[in-house]
Amino acid sequence: MKAKFEKIEPGFGSSFALKEFRNNDFCNRSSWHFHPEYEIVYISNGKGKRHIGNHISQFENGDLIFLGPDLPHFGFTEQMTEQHTEIVIQMKKSFLGDDFLSKPEFFQIAQLFQRSHLGLSFFGKTKEKAGDILLQMAKQQGFERLISLLELLHFLATSEDYQTLNATNYAFEVNAQDYPRINAIYQYVDQHFKEHISLDEVAKLINMTPPAFSRYFKKLTGKTFVQFVNEYRIAYASKQLGEEDQMITDISFESGFNNISHFNKQFKLITGLTPSEYRSNLKKVVQK
């Protein structure tokens, strides 16, 4: 689960990227990554987990997700065993020009792009119809595919069948030179989150003093480094609660917490539920 900045390049002759995966290893990637592109992810069926910024939830019967730029997230089909198709579209805000969203005809699409900064999940008839469009787009090329994307965006922009995931206070606003540092920090946390993490060690990793590192991280992410580590640990714990029949106390220690009451407090703060409530709800969560 190495965290990384994902560089995305559209295919030759295209202004945006479209990828289709059918039950292969890459489809089930679990890396914690972010990128400046907007992203639409369609999963035809099956159960999975959404971990987007500080948002953690489950879905069933597939999903249709629209993410704004620089929202860190895991892949959504990790360990999915059902036969499924995943289609991913990634596009820059300026994929049709720097000011195309300012045109009056694109007003509703501009609002959709703005809402996506908190993460959106579409359901019901909207998910079904959009899925059909995306499956068809995978067979198209060039101008035909571009027209289909505009139709898809307008359809999503005018739909009310969605929920806002409220992945707040987590989007990055960083320059390209910051990505190696962020990647190094994420990779270190990924490798050591089960242990005590020293601020001095992380600061030294990117050649900063601890006070300078604390200010730097807070400026980039809007939160303290301790908050970030706690969220990373809770994300791991939530996965264990859903997949392992372990005692909650054991999961708490395995996730890097050395105090069960602190674990319970952080879990409730981040997910809105206690660990026991979260485990109970996993079997009840059914996406509309």
3-state DSSP of the chain: CCCEECCCCCCCCCCCEEEEEECCCHHHCCCCEECCCEEEEEECCCCEEEEECCEEEEECCCEEEEECCCCCECCCCCCCCCCCEEEEEEECCCECECCHHHCHHHHHHHHHHHHHHHCEEECHHHHHHHHHHHHHHCCCCHHHHHHHHHHHHHHHHCCCCEEECCCCCCCCCCCHHHHHHHHHHHHHHHHHCCCCCCHHHHHHHCCCCHHHHHHHHHHHHCCCHHHHHHHHHHHHHHHHHHHCCCCHHHHHHHCCCCCHHHHHHHHHHHHCCCHHHHHHHHCCCCCC
> Is residue 204 domain-shared with residue 236, that is, in the same domain?
yes
pLDDT tens for each residue of 127-149: 999 999 999 999 999 999 999 99
**Mean pLDDT confidence for 67-95:** 83
d(CA 229, CA 185): 10
Question: Does residue 171 surpass a pLDDT of 70?
Answer: no
End-to-end C-alpha distance for the chain, whole angstroms: 30
What pLDDT, on the 0 to 100 scale, is given for residue 69?
85
Contact in structure between 126 and 155 (CB atoms under 8 Å): yes
Rounded to an integer, the average pLDDT of 56-69 is: 87
Least confident range of 55-69, 88-102, 118-132, 179-193: 179-193
**pLDDT at 152 > cutoff 50:** yes
- The larger pLDDT score, comparing residue 98 to residue 204, is at 204
pLDDT value at position 178?
Answer: 72
Polymer length in residues for the chain:
288
What does the pLDDT read at residue 52?
A: 82
- Output Rg (C-alpha) for the chain, integer angstroms: 19
Q: pLDDT digits over 176-190, tens only?
A: 567 678 778 878 888
Burial (CB count within 10 angstroms: exposed 0-12, middle 13-18, buried 19+), residue 273: middle
Residues 6+ apart with CB under 8 A from 22: 84, 85, 86
Under the banding of pLDDT at 50, 70 and 90, the label for residue 78 is: low
Q: Are residues 91 and 130 in the same domain?
A: yes
Structurally, how many domains does the chain consist of?
2
Q: Are 68 and 171 in contact (CB under 8 A)?
A: yes
So what's the pLDDT on residue 169?
46
Of 139, 164, 189, which marks where a domain is finished?
A: 164
Average pLDDT over residues 261-282: 85
CATH of the domain at 134: 2.60.120.10
More confident residue, 98 or 210: 210
pLDDT (0 to 100) of residue 164: 86
Which pLDDT score is estimated for 79? 61
pLDDT tens for each residue of 17-26: 999 988 654 5
Same domain, 20 and 156: yes
Examine the domain organization and report whether 121 and 263 are in the same domain: no
Q: Do residues 147 and 222 share a domain?
A: no
Per-residue pLDDT, averaged over 114-121, amounts to 89
Is a pLDDT exceeding 60 seen at residue 284? no
Pair (191, 112) in one structural domain? no
Q: What is the pLDDT of residues 252-270, one digit of tens each?
A: 999 999 999 999 999 988 7
Q: Tokens for 87, please give them.
A: 């289609």
Instruction: Report the alpha-carbon distance of residue 28 to residue 77 in Å, rounded.
Output: 5
Domain encompassing residue 217: 176-282
Q: Is the pLDDT of residue 28 over 50?
A: no
pTM score, whole prediction: 0.63
| Residue burial 63-101, b: 16+ Cβ < 10 Å; e: rest | bbbbbbbbbbbbbbbbebeeebbbbbbbbbeebbeeeeb
Per-chain mean pLDDT for the chain? 82
Name the band, by pLDDT with cuts 50, 70 and 90, for residue 53: confident
Q: What is the reported pLDDT for 61?
A: 87
Residues 114 and 222 in one domain: no
Q: What percent of the chain has pLDDT over 90?
A: 42
Q: Answer yes or no: are the C-beta atoms of 213 and 237 closer than 8 Å.
A: no
Whose CA is closest to 33, among 90, 86, 84?
Answer: 90
Give the C-alpha separation, 138 to 154, whole Å: 18
**pLDDT on residue 14:** 64
CATH number at residue 252: 1.10.10.60
Mean pLDDT in residue range 77-103: 84
Q: pLDDT band at residue 5, thresholds of 50, 70 and 90?
A: very low
Distance CA 263, CA 120 (A): 28
- Whether 12 has a pLDDT exceeding 50, the answer reads no
Is residue 42 located within the same domain as residue 133? yes
Report residue 80 as tokens. Answer: 């999915």
Residues 30 and 120 in one domain: yes
Half-sphere exposure of 105 (CA within 13 A, CB side): 3
